[in-house]
Amino acid sequence: MTTTSQGVNRNPWAWIPTLYLYQGIPYSIVMTTSGLIYKTMGISVAALAFWTSLLYLPWAIKPLWSPYVEVVSTKRNWIIITQLLLGFSFIVAGSVMPLTFFFPLTVALFAFVAISSASHDIAADGFYMHALDQHKQAFFVGIRSTFYRIAMLTAMGALPLIAGLIQEKTGLPPVTLQVKAVPADQYLPDVAPEPAAAVSGRSAGIFLYPGEVRVPIFQKGISEIDTALAWISLSAPPSPGEKIVLNLTHKSGSRDLKLAKNQSGRFEFTEANWNKPVIVVFTVDHNLERSASAVYRITAGNIAFSWTVSLGILGVFLLLLGLYHKFMLPYPREAKAAESVNLRVYGDVFVSFFRKPGIIAALLFFLLYRFGESQSIKIATPFLVDSRASGGIGLTSAQYGIAYGTIGMLALTVGGILGGLCAAKYGLRKLIWLMALSMNLPNLGLLYIAYTQPLPGDIAVYGAIILEQFGYGFGFTAYMLYMLYFVGDSKYKTAEYAIGTSLMALGMMLPGMMSGYVEEWLGYQHFFVYVMLCTLPGMLIIPFLKIDPAFGIKKVKNEK
Q: Which distant-in-sequence residues (6+ apart) come within 8 Å of 190 by Cβ?
A: 209, 210, 228, 229, 230
Residue 336 pLDDT greater than 60, yes or no: no
Residue 358 pLDDT greater than 70, yes or no: yes
Distance (Å, whole) CA 357 – CA 553: 22
Q: Phi and psi dihedrals of 244, rounded to 5?
A: -110, 125
Mean pLDDT confidence for 182-202: 75
pLDDT attached to residue 356: 86
Specify the 3-state DSSP secondary structure of 11.
Answer: coil
pLDDT attached to residue 558: 42
More confident residue, 391 or 435: 435
* Cβ pair 380, 435 in contact under 8 A: no
pLDDT attached to residue 184: 84
In percent, the amount of the chain with pLDDT more than 70 equals 89
pTM above 0.95, yes or no: no
* Cβ pair 233, 278 in contact under 8 A: yes
Q: Which distant-in-sequence residues (6+ apart) come within 8 Å of 384 by Cβ?
A: 392, 393, 395, 400, 403, 461, 465
pLDDT classification of 528: cutoffs 50, 70, 90: very high
Enumerate the H helices of 4-133 as residue ranges: 16-28, 34-40, 45-54, 57-60, 66-71, 75-95, 102-131
Instruction: Summarize pLDDT for 116-144 with one digit per residue, the tens.
Output: 999 999 899 889 888 887 778 777 877 88
pLDDT attached to residue 427: 85
Residue 354 pLDDT greater than 80, yes or no: yes
* Cβ pair 217, 182 in contact under 8 A: yes
Integer angstrom CA distances of residue 117 from 29, 31, 120, 176, 308: 11, 12, 5, 41, 21
| Residues paired with 176 in a beta bridge | 297
Q: Which amino acid is at 394?
A: G
Distance (Å, whole) CA 6 – CA 299: 56
**CA proximity to 497, closest of 507, 509, 486:** 486
Instruction: Name which of 20-34, 130-144, 280-294, 408-422 the model is least confident about.
Output: 130-144
| DSSP string for 194-249 | PPPPP-TTPPP-EEEE-SEEEEEPPBTTTB---EEEEEEEESS---TT--EEEEEE
Q: Phi and psi dihedrals of 280, rounded to 5?
A: -110, 125
pLDDT attached to residue 436: 92
Residue 207 pLDDT greater than 60, yes or no: yes
Residue 26 pLDDT greater than 50, yes or no: yes
pLDDT attached to residue 490: 74
Residue 257 pLDDT greater than 50, yes or no: yes
pLDDT attached to residue 363: 92
Instruction: Summarize pLDDT for 34-88 with one digit per residue, the tens.
Output: 876 776 676 765 576 577 767 878 887 887 777 777 777 888 999 999 999 999 9
Q: CB count, 10 Å around CB of 104?
A: 10
pLDDT attached to residue 4: 46
Q: What is the mean pLDDT of the chain?
A: 82
pLDDT attached to residue 348: 78
| Residues paired with 257 in a beta bridge | 284
Instruction: Summarize pLDDT for 362-400 with one digit per residue, the tens.
Output: 999 989 998 998 888 777 877 886 767 678 887 765 566
Distance (Å, whole) CA 364 – CA 95: 44
Distance (Å, whole) CA 95 – CA 98: 7
Instruction: Summarize pLDDT for 77-121 with one digit per residue, the tens.
Output: 999 999 999 999 999 999 999 888 899 999 999 999 999 999 999
Residue 252 pLDDT greater than 80, yes or no: yes
pLDDT attached to residue 240: 82
H or E stretch including 298? strand 292-300
Instruction: Summarize pLDDT for 443-479 with one digit per residue, the tens.
Output: 999 999 999 988 777 889 889 989 998 998 898 888 8
pLDDT attached to residue 198: 58
pLDDT attached to residue 308: 94
Q: CB count, 10 Å around CB of 199?
A: 10
**CA proximity to 443, closest of 363, 511, 536:** 536
Q: Are strands 206-209 and 227-234 parallel, antiparallel or unpaired?
A: antiparallel
Q: Phi and psi dihedrals of 234, rounded to 5?
A: -105, 155
| Residues paired with 249 in a beta bridge | 297
Instruction: Name which of 206-220, 379-393, 533-547 the model is least confident about.
Output: 379-393
Instruction: Name which of 198-212, 214-228, 332-346 the model is least confident about.
Output: 332-346
* Cβ pair 559, 133 in contact under 8 A: no
